[in-house]
């Protein structure tokens, strides 16, 4: 039997462009016959990952620049540039039975995802085998000059965030990690379209008699109330962390906090849309995750005062209550909520005073603290 923790949030975001498409416009999705503003799961997942890594002090990097970073480290240690570049290329060439391909610029053709400390370790391996690298420099086909098993081990190493969010690297057998977390695309609970912003920049050194601007352009932004959803397979998280119960509690709590407190940073200097969720709903389930996105398949209408936050919160609670009725309130040992208002909601569990209180209750329900951890 698997165990899941579901995270739902209602969040109002003012004028912003959190996640742009290839033309610079806010991303959209049509749902329930209405156009909505969308923020991709990848966008929100990245800022969550960085927050989790900061919480845990385990920084990882998703990059194609491993050979270049190794080269730079070796040059900094006094190696000749040509030998350092060759050593960086050898890191890719020695990664498994089939070498990782590199491009002309020196980076790998695929993204790697490894702890940042791996660069220091790879650099150390090159130092230990400098003589072999010097002998192979200039040869047309030098082959793999670094110990394959050791290079593989470093490139396959996991951090907690890799165990949480997964890693796809088909080119290196055994490096794939099925992540325990799933993050949905956020979308507005109501119909919403991108809006255009005509702006100018004034040239501060123009003469007083000069008119006009130094630059003018248009940009797009959006505003709306978003429904956000994510879930963690706690059983998979425990497996990925080698059964470490205490570490799993820490990672689960960190993800929960970052899910609620994070915001994609695109265009932040010109929009500063730093809001928090109006309502958070967490549920521990023993059968399968349940998203409440269908609560907003019919676009939420504005309330009498003109806002969408209150009716969105109510729509989520009403839908959750209907889901509870359909499932007979089974397979859900815990659910609860915390919100910005004093509204009373049926169907989403006990009210908690703060996000930390809600997170602690959910974590304790999913992974009860053992006596040894107290």
pLDDT tens readout for residues 207-224? 777 776 777 778 889 999
Looking at residue 264, its pLDDT comes to 93
Q: Are 47 and 264 in contact (CB under 8 A)?
A: yes
pLDDT for position 108 = 93
Tell me the mean pLDDT in the region 180-184: 97
For the cut 90, the answer to whether the pLDDT of residue 206 exceeds it is no
Q: What is the pLDDT of residue 225?
A: 97
Please tell me the distance from the alpha carbon of residue 7 to that of residue 277, in angstroms, as a whole number. 12
The pLDDT of residue 218 = 80
Residue 312 — pLDDT band, cuts 50, 70, 90? very high
What is the C-alpha to C-alpha distance for residues 235 and 366, in angstroms, rounded to an integer? Answer: 10
Mean pLDDT for 324-351 is: 93
Q: What average pLDDT does this structure show over 5-31?
A: 93
How far is the C-alpha of 163 from the C-alpha of 247, rounded, in Å? Answer: 11
pLDDT tens digits for range 347-360 = 899 999 999 999 99
Ranges 49-58, 123-132, 226-235, 364-373: which has the least confidence: 364-373
Closest to 67 (Cα-Cα) out of 42, 40, 100: 100
pLDDT at 256: 98
- Say yes or no to pLDDT of 265 above 70: yes
Q: Is the pLDDT of residue 72 over 90?
A: yes
pLDDT at 374 over 70: no
Q: Quick one: pLDDT at residue 201?
A: 79
Query: In the chain, at which residue ranges do the beta strands (DSSP E only) sit?
Result: 4-16, 28-31, 34-39, 60-63, 112-115, 181-183, 186-188, 195-201, 215-233, 277-285, 334-339, 350-351
DSSP 3-state of 303: coil
Which of 362, 14, 374 is CA-nearest to residue 195? 14
**What's the pLDDT at 22?**
85
Q: What is the mean pLDDT of residues 29-55?
A: 96
pLDDT score at 302: 95
pLDDT for position 346: 86
How much is the pLDDT for 371?
Answer: 65
Angle of CA points 127, 101, 163, to nearest 5°: 80
pLDDT averaged over every residue in the chain: 92
pLDDT greater at residue 23 or residue 224: 224
In 3D, which of 295, 330, 344, 298 has the Cα closest to residue 315? Answer: 295
Higher pLDDT, 302 or 202: 302
Interatomic CA distance for residues 83 and 126, integer angstroms: 10
Q: What pLDDT score does 213 carry?
A: 72
List the single range of 114-118, 236-240, 242-246, 321-325 with lowest mean pLDDT.
Answer: 114-118
This prediction's pTM: 0.90
Interatomic CA distance for residues 374 and 369, integer angstroms: 7
- Tell me how long the chain is: 374
Which tops the pLDDT comparison, 206 or 73?
A: 73
Instruction: Check residue 271 and report its DSSP letter.
Output: H
Neighbours of 59 (CB within 10 A): 13
What whole-number distance in Å separates Cα of residue 62 and Cα of residue 73? Answer: 18
Look at residue 140 in the predicted model and tell me its pLDDT. Answer: 87
């Amino acid at each position: 039997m698997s165990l899941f923790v579901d995270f739902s949030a209602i969040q109002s975001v003012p004028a912003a462009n959190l996640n742009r498409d290839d033309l610079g416009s806010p991303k959209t999705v049509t749902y329930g016959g209405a156009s909505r503003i969308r923020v991709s799961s990848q966008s929100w997942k990245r800022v969550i990952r960085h927050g989790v890594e900061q919480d845990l002090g385990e920084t990882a990097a998703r990059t194609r620049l491993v050979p270049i970073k190794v080269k730079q480290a070796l040059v900094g240690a006094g190696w000749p540039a040509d030998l350092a570049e060759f050593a960086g290329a050898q890191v890719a060439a020695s990664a498994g039975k089939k070498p990782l391909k590199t491009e002309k610029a020196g980076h790998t053709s695929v993204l790697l995802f490894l702890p940042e400390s791996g660069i220091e370790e790879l650099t150390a391996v090159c130092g230990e085998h400098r003589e072999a690298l010097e002998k192979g420099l200039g040869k047309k086909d030098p082959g793999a000059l670094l110990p394959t098993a050791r290079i593989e081990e470093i490139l396959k190493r996991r951090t907690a965030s890799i165990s949480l969010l997964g890693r796809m690297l088909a080119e290196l057998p055994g490096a794939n990690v099925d992540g325990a977390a799933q993050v949905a695309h956020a979308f507005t609970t109501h119909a919403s379209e991108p809006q255009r912003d005509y702006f100018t920049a004034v040239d501060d050194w123009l003469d007083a008699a000069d008119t006009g601007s130094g630059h003018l352009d248009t940009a797009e932004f959006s505003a709306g109330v978003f429904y956000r959803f994510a879930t963690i397979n706690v059983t998979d998280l425990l497996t990925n962390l080698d059964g470490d119960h205490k570490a799993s509690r820490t990672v689960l709590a960190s993800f929960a906090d970052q899910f609620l407190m994070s915001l994609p940073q695109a265009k932040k200097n010109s929009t500063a849309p730093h809001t928090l969720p109006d309502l958070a709903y967490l549920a521990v389930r023993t059968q399968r995750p349940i998203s409440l996105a269908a609560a907003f398949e019919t676009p939420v209408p504005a309330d009498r005062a003109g806002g969408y936050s209150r009716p969105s919160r109510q729509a989520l609670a009403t839908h959750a209550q209907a889901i509870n009725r359909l499932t007979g309130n089974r397979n859900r040992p815990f659910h609860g909520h915390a919100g910005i208002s004093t509204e009373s909601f049926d169907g989403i569990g006990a009210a908690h005073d703060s996000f930390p209180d809600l997170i602690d209750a959910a974590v304790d329900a999913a992974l009860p603290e053992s006596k040894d951890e107290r």
